[in-house]
Structure 1
């Protein structure tokens, strides 16, 4: 069957074609306008997906580049500071060399003032910031990492004036001891050197214990024990006297931990060991020449002791990873890691020879008794307390003055050294008589160091509104951030917590807060001191305790059940002259059937602690019935609200409830500082510089400027130089030079490490630029239009559309023939 093509069909075909051409024409016009091939996902779904992926990659690269730029700026600022600090250390070393050789008392005083200014400059440089962030404090970027004042503790009293002997005393020998020692030599019998009658004793524990008396030979020589150190006395104008003292510092041989150089690929462990027997210090630089696994026994290496100027022949690492560095006792041990050791990997080991320093004449007061310091320093700044004797005599008769600024200003004249005296800020000094009385101008000093930790601080997101305080004496050797995280909602009695000693990186297991305590409201004393469990009843101050005094024990236990009240629950003091407080404590525990522990706290208060943790109804009442004339009263007992927990290294945190309970994930932190000048930490700060690639870009102040890992403490070294200059002692000044030279090397290593990190950043940035260009070109290929091709196509569509319009116009020209 043949269908006739009607005008209607023709019209529909032509109009549909025209509409299609118009649509294509419009799309081409849009592409010409935007110069983009894809203006909406429907234009090309696959191409749209590619565009999105490319743009995501480009955004990621831009973020990596921003990270790299920020890190590079920080390292650039740090490098500038390191360069200035290295020059500063060089200036200090130059002062030491100059003053040790040609210095006078006057020039040394001037140089001491110069070094003091260098200390201030060094602190300023080490506290450099990039924006609002300190650069050398590890992850503690919010606080200045260095201070010219140290933290940690207070020192023992130091005595003053000078020895009578004005001859020379020299030290010698080869020290063979395994640990560093300071020999303190005390003259016990006077005489001329040639007489052979001088007697002495020595101590290696700062005078806590002494050897028996020994004789100085007539040639002036004497041996200090069996470790090789000796002294030689040479006669002067003034004969040696009883009480003259001398000090000799010895240093044991040491092999420091092996250090991996920054460019190494090996990620296993390398440890050093052995007993170093050489007489000079050495740095062993170990270079891998043949790579393999440790267990293969085929790793080969060479080493240099002159920083690479010359090398040994190749040697083999044993299959157990051990190898000897020559014949001086230094060894290395390699332990396999995830990445095999590679040719060119290098390791460094510093070996220090044993040494005996020059003898130091010890200042000695006339007084030969003991002087000790005690207490808890509560000051906020470091201080040196000084005490000087105004008029001599026995402890009870001598007069004295106290200075809180190292002797610059003095307080009024006082008496009463026979009992403990207060220097200020919680520090006390106690004198114990010796065989010689105090003399005018005898003087003693105690250096104090401000508290070693901050008060606890709460996270801004916490809900708990009670108080949290920190206390204790920090005994750690490195700065730490302690954190406490609450594990579950609830009051102190029922919730649990975790403690972190690394600022929240790792956490200990969950613990309960301490159990409930009830404590006496009133503290008791005996002889003006807090009572203890062994205090005898009739010794308690302010109370007349009679035989037959009855103490009835009542209360409630952990679950609220009543306790006591029976005749058998009453403690009777049968003999006040022999009975002790411990007897009552035992009775309390027995009345509670062992469910509590009864003690006396340090303030002299009876304290009863629940042996079960969690919410407790523990309560205690002691009802006393005194015989005629008796006045014993122990007061009421109250449940303690505060809970104290141990954080570690002597630091505690005490929680006191508020109106809102603790919530899960409430966090509290305490920053603790080890003795020294550094307040930052050892944490690295990393940034993402590529997919799965991060870089720790900071230089920590602990590695660059402190004695960590056998280094030199910059501020301490400068203070030592300043003190040596102030004492006008050329030998002491000269002795500081080596430390300052080592310090320059240490800072140079930090500067080199910074440069290596910047090189890594530069390489990563260059790679990102190349990748960004490739991806941008691919994005353009998918997204951008080819204008020449698009214009040609547009012109063709324009012709087609004009033709469709022409054909459509013909449809309207109807004749009779259309109906035949």
Structure 2
């Protein structure tokens, strides 16, 4: 008899319960289904990495590539905007250049003396229309911003004022970030394109006609960066020895007061105190009880030398007076600090900007010129005075320059009172000595030709030839005459040139036009003085200086219009030079504009190539291989089908499930 009992099964799995078997099989089926779903998702999205956990390293690289691509996209958008702005600028300049050509045609038609007053008056109306069009073109906007307004791009930069055209924008450049670490100029300034600022009324020493130095005093609030003519100081540590030695770190100092405080913070150790010297131009170190002061560099630095207090190991007897630190003029400089602390007088200045039909004038009096007034406050007072003047600290930081913004106007600066000296002290007084030859004789200028323009025949018969092409200012002509060993020349206070001949001979002193030029006549010195014993003197006629003017397209059109209206042949003729200057500016600006466009195009091409390469690298990591994914998915589906069939057989219910 065979007894019935539990059958022997050698497989461990066979010992598993039905629930365990079911769970294992279902888990495997779910895992296969998830892999199929992931493959389906990869095929439908085209992406290999669907979430960072799929490939953490790859996902990080993708994020880095995407950031770089996004930056490239932004740079490309910047370039697109800048390119549009420059293209519009070029179109505007081309349009204005066409207006110049039309104006030249009108000029040539009416410069002849045979042209009647009536015909010139009608022509003036046509020129006025050209002026209106030129202003409109220069007021062109792009993306809601006026392209020739600098950073004041919300409003039109050019407005009509008193028969002239005033520029109310600014001359700042507009830079655009076009690549990592690369910013390019992407605008053409109004002055570059059309000429909207005059030559500056330079701050000049009126005795030497050299750039003025207002020589501000050193104060506790003087910035370290302004010392040594703007070179600043290489701040580090210095070693100071008196009754004891201290190494003092000055690297945190922002101004002169900070340096004084840091040195005085070690007085208990060194017995030395710091202050500003009596000349108000540097430091003063004083040792209590007298004795030697040693100021040395630390670790090869140059701080002590830069501060003008270096003594070396030998030291110097107390008190130690530092050398002149030569600070520059800044917006924070007070007027009372100028000229070494002597300041300037408070009598004031008068600024006048006059067109043919209007005069804009303002007087800045003693309420502005106080010792505590800052240079910034003075600049703001000039710039906000409604005379269309633009005042700035000069590039060297030694003085103030003033420009005119009014095309068609003449800018002058005079003393506010007859006995005042403020304008002279600032170096801004409009005088004949500083006048450019082109600004003489009511703006008629001085005639010149190639080669010598006039000659001076001395008593001894020697001829001295002068070429005014070598002279920019009237004083340059005077100096050229004076350079002859037997001639002396001086510009007299009443405005004429006086020439003295010290040669020996029987001839007269003669000044003659030469080579077809009328320069001697224009300078008021054509004529002669009869021979006499000893030195003889010739005095010219007085000259007129009407101030500086803007030289550009708007001044040229205004000058032509006014010349036609007044039937002034000379003024019409003079307009030719202004049109030459204007057209030269426009062509030069268009050339610069073209170079900027070419630079943007090169950068765009480089960014496009870079973006394409980055996209390829990112695609290699991120995107799915469709053939591989499809094959894998088919394999996974086969596995799923097999798994389902196997599960159906294994998980069939039998009587054994109930034992």
- TM normalised by structure 2 equals 0.41
* Bigger fraction of residues in strand: 1
- TM normalised by structure 1 equals 0.33
* Bigger fraction of residues in helix: 2
